[in-house]
Structure 1
Amino acid sequence: MNATPFHAGELAIQQRVGVREQMAGAGAAGVRDYMPDQHRQFFGELPLFFIGALDGAGQPWATMLVNDAGFVSTPDARTLHIAGGMLAGDPLQGQLREGAHIGGLGLVPTTRRRNRVNGVIAAIDEAGMRVAVTQSFGNCPQYIQDRVQTPVPAAPVPQVLRAAVLSAQDRELIARADTFFIASANLETESGRGVDVSHRGGRPGFVRVDDERTLTSPEFVGNFFFNTMGNLLGYPRAGLLFIDFERGDMLHVAVEAEIIWEGAQLRAFAGAEQLLRFHVREVVRNVGALPFRWSAPKPAAQVARTGVWEEADRVLQAAALTSAWRPYTVTDVVRESATVRSFHLEPADGMGVAAHVPGQFISLRVPVDDASRIRSYTLSDAPNGRSYRISVKRDGAVSGWLHDHLAPGARIELLGPGGDFTFEQGTRRPAVLLSAGIGITPMIAMLNGLLVNGSRTRHRHPIYFFHGARNRDEHAFAERLQTLAAGHRNLNVHIRYSGGEAEASDIANWQSSAGRIDLDWLRSQLSFDDYDFYLCGPAAFMQQMYDGLRSLNIADARIRFEAFGPASVRRDAPAATSIAKPTAPVPVQFAQSGMAALWDGSAGSLLELAEAKGVPVESSCRSGQCGSCAAGLVSGAVEYTRTCGAELAAGQVLMCSAVPAAGSAAIVLAL
Structure 2
Amino acid sequence: MAFYQALPWHAGEDKIHELTRVPPSDNPTHPMLPQYAAKRISVSPTIALGTTDDQDRVWCTLWGGDLPIAQQVAPGGVIGIRTQVDASFDPVVQALYGGKDDGEVVRRDPKNGKMVSGLSIKLEDRDRIKLFGRMMAGSLSTDEAVSEVSERASTEGKGQASKTGNAQLVVQITQSLGNCPKYLNKKTIKSYPSAKPRLVSESTLLTEEAFSHVHNADMFFLASRGPEDMDCNHRGGPPGFIRVQQPTDSTQPQSSVLVWPEYSGNNLYQTLGNIMHDPKIGIVIPDYTAGNVLYVSGHAEVLLDQAASSVIQKSKLAVRFTISSARFVHDGLTFRGEPCTDNKDVSSSHPVTTRSITDGQSPYNPRVRYLTSELPFTTNKTDSISTLPPDEYRPSNSADLTATLTKKTPITPTITKYRFTLSSTNPHSFDPQMSPLWQPGQYIALDFSDELYMGYTHMNDSDPTSLNDDFIRTFTVASIYKPGAEVEFEIIVRNVGVVTKWLSYQNDRSGMTTIEVRGFGGDFRFARAAALDEPEQSEDQTKKNVFIAAGVGITPLLGQIRDEEGAGDGLIVLWTVNIKDIGLAVDVLKSAQEGMKKNLRLFVTGIGNEAGDSKNMKMLAELEQEDSHAEDGLRMERRRLTKDDLTALEEDGKIKIENWCLCTAPAMRKQVQEWLDGKPVIFENFDY
Query: In structure 1, what is the Cα distance between the partners aligned to 2:456 and 2:53?
Result: 40
Measure how far apart 1:119 and its partner are. 1.1
Change (3 A) 1:185 1:356: same
Conserved in 2, the CA contact under 8 Å of 1:159 and 1:288? no
1:206 to 2:253 alignment: no
Q: Tell me, yes or no, if the aligned pair for 1:248 and 1:291 is still in contact at 8 Å.
A: yes
Alpha-carbon offset, residue 182 of structure 1 = 0.7
The 1:416/1:300 distance shift into structure 2, 3 A limit, reads same
The CA deviation at 1:37 is 1.8
- 1:219 pairs with one of 217, 237, 262: 262
Q: What one-letter code is carried by the residue in structure 1 that aligns with 2:82? A: A
- Summarize the alignment of residues 300-311 of structure 1 with structure 2, pairs less than 5 Å apart: 300-303=362-365, 305-309=366-370
Tell me the secondary structure at the aligned position of residue 52 of structure 1: strand
Q: 2:460 aligns with which of 454, 459, 464?
A: 454
Paired residues of 2:402 and 2:516 also in contact (CA < 8 A): no
Q: Quick one: distance in 2 between partners of 1:287 and 1:11?
A: 40
CA-CA distance at 1:163 after TM superposition: 2.9
State the alpha-carbon separation in 2 of the partners of residues 312 and 268 from structure 1. Answer: 7
CA distance in 2, matches of 1:59, 1:204: 28
Q: Matched residue of 1:169: which SS?
A: helix
1:142 has 2:142 as partner:
no
CA distance in 1, matches of 2:334, 2:8: 37
Q: What's the counterpart of residue 510 of structure 2?
A: 567
CA contact (8 A) 1:154 1:289 kept: no
Q: Indicate conservation of the 8 Å contact 1:101/1:195, yes or no.
A: yes
Identify the residue that residue 5 of structure 2 maps to in structure 1.
2
State the secondary structure of the residue aligned to 1:94.
helix
The letter of the residue matching 2:369 is V
Could you tell me whether the CA contact under 8 Å between 1:251 and 1:283 is conserved in 2?
yes
Change (3 A) 1:179 1:349: closer
**Pair 1:282 & 2:350 matched:** no
Question: Structure 1 pair 312/114, CA: closer, same or farther in 2 (3 Å)?
Answer: farther
Equivalent residues in 2 for 1:225-624 (5 A)? 225-263=268-306, 266=309, 272-296=315-339, 297-303=359-365, 305-309=366-370, 314=375, 317=377, 352-354=390-392, 376=405, 398-401=408-411, 403=413, 416-418=444-446, 423=450, 442=451, 445-447=452-454, 450-451=456-457, 453-454=459-460, 567=510
The yes-or-no answer on 1:51 pairing with 2:49 is: yes
* Contact 1:270-1:306 within 8 A present in 2 as well: no
1:573 aligns to what?
Answer: none
**Counterpart secondary structure, 1:57:** coil
1:167-186 equivalences in 2 (<5 Å): 167-186=207-226
| Structure 2 unaligned blocks of 5 or more | 98-107, 141-166, 247-254, 340-358, 380-384, 418-439, 469-494, 520-562, 564-688
CA distance in 1, matches of 2:182, 2:231: 18
Separation in 2, partners of 1:94, 1:265: 35
Return the alpha-carbon distance in structure 1 between the equivalents of residues 386 and 324 of structure 2. 42
Partner of residue 82, structure 1: 81
Q: Does 1:163 align with 2:218?
A: no
Q: Amino acid of the residue matched to residue 155 of structure 1?
A: A
Alignment check: 8 A CA contact 1:148 1:295 kept: yes
In the alignment, is the contact (CA less than 8 A) between 2:51 and 2:92 conserved in 1? yes
Aligned to 1:13: 16
Please state whether the residue corresponding to 1:46 is helix, strand or coil: coil
Q: Which of 150, 172, 192 is equivalent to 1:132?
A: 172
* Other-structure match for 1:665: none
Hey, what's the Cα distance between the residues in 2 that align with 1:622 and 1:130?
A: 58
Q: For 2:197 and 2:311, locate their aligned partners in 1 and report how far apart those are by CA, in whole Å.
A: 44
Counterpart amino acid of 1:181? F
Matched, 1:109 2:116: no
Distance 2:443 2:301 in 1: 36
* Counterpart code for 1:302: Y
SS of residue in 1 equivalent to 2:120: strand
**Structure 2 vs 1, CA of residues 291 and 567 (structure 1 numbering), >3 Å: closer, same or farther?**
same
Cα distance change of structure 1 residues 267 and 112 upon mapping to structure 2, 3 Å threshold: farther
Q: Deviations over 1:616-651 (max 9, x none)?
A: xxxx8698999xxxxxxxxxxxxxxxxxxxxxx9xx
Which residue in 2 is equivalent to 1:154?
Answer: 194
Q: Cα–Cα, structure 1 residues 270 and 290, in superposed 2: closer, same or farther, change >3 Å?
A: same
What code does the residue aligned with 2:63 have? L
**Residue 205 of structure 1: CA displacement?**
1.4
Superposed CA offset, 1:301-330 (max 9, x none): 111x3433179955x849x9xxxxxxxxxx
Please list the CA deviations of residues 256-305 of structure 1 after superposition, one character each: whole Å capped at 9, or x if unmatched.
111111327527857634111111111112321223332245210111x3
Give, as a single letter, the amino acid of the residue that structure 2 aligns with 1:83: R
Is the 8 Å Cα contact of residues 37 and 77 (structure 1) preserved in structure 2? no
C-alpha distance in 2 between matches for 1:67 and 1:205: 26
* Contact 2:313-2:392 at 8 Å conserved across structures: no
CA distance in 2, matches of 1:239, 1:404: 49
Q: Which digits, 9 at most, give the CA deviation of each residue in 1:128-185, with x for residues without a partner?
A: 3322222111000010001123443433464464333322211110011111111111
Distance 1:307 1:267, change over 3 A: farther
Alignment RMSD, CA only? Answer: 4.4
Letter in 1 for 2:75: D
Q: Which residue of 1 aligns with 2:605?
A: none
Distance 1:102 1:245 in 2: 23
Q: Distance in 2 between matches of 1:415 and 1:230?
A: 38
| SS of alignment partner, residue 364 of structure 2 | helix
**2:95 paired residue number:** 95
The structural deviation recorded for 1:415 is: 5.9
Cα deviation for residue 93 of structure 1 reads 2.5
Task: Check 1:537–1:160 CA distance in 2 against 1; reply closer, same or farther (3 A cut).
Answer: closer
Q: What is the identity, as a one-letter code, of the residue corresponding to 2:460?
A: G
Question: Once the 2 structures are TM-superposed, how far is the Cα of residue 453 of structure 1 from its aligned partner?
Answer: 4.1
Aligned CA distance change for structure 1 residues 35 and 208 (closer, same or farther; 3 Å): same
Shift in CA distance, 91/202, structure 1 to aligned 2, threshold 3 Å: same
Matched to 1:143, the amino acid is: Y
Indicate how the Cα distance of structure 1 residues 446 and 621 shifts in structure 2: closer, same or farther if over 3 A, else same: closer
CA contact (8 A) 2:66 2:190 kept: no
Any idea what the Cα deviations from partners look like across 1:433-468, whole Å, max 9, x if unmatched? Answer: xxxxxxxxx3xx223x75464189989xxxxxxxxx
Question: For residue 73 of structure 1, what is the aligned residue in structure 2?
Answer: 71
Superposed CA offset, 1:511-562 (max 9, x none)? xxxxxxxxxxxxxxxxxxxxxxxx9999xxxxxxxxxxxxxxxxxxxxxxxx
TM-score in terms of structure 1 length: 0.50
Tell whether the 8 Å contact from 1:48 to 1:64 is kept in structure 2 after alignment: yes
Separation in structure 1 between the aligned mates of residue 441 and residue 245 of structure 2, nearest angstrom: 35
Whichever residue aligns with residue 210 of structure 1, its letter is Q
Q: Work out whether residues 36 and 77 of structure 1, in 8 Å CA contact, stay in contact via their aligned partners in 2.
A: no
Describe the shift of the 1:155–1:86 C-alpha distance in structure 2 as closer, same or farther (beyond 3 A). closer
Q: Secondary structure at the match of 2:86?
A: coil
Q: Is the contact between residue 128 and residue 181 of structure 2 (CA under 8 Å) also seen in structure 1?
A: yes
The answer to whether the 8 A contact 1:256-1:279 is kept is yes
For the 8 Å contact 2:86–2:334, the answer to whether it is kept is: no
* Kept in 2: contact 1:205–1:310 (CA 8 A): no
Cα pair 1:47 1:68 within 8 Å, conserved: yes
Corresponding residue pairs, total:
386
CA 1:273/1:131 → structure 2, altered by over 3 Å: closer, same or farther?
farther
Using structure 2 for the length normalisation, give the TM-score. Answer: 0.49
Within 2, Cα distance between the matches of 1:83 and 1:269?
A: 40
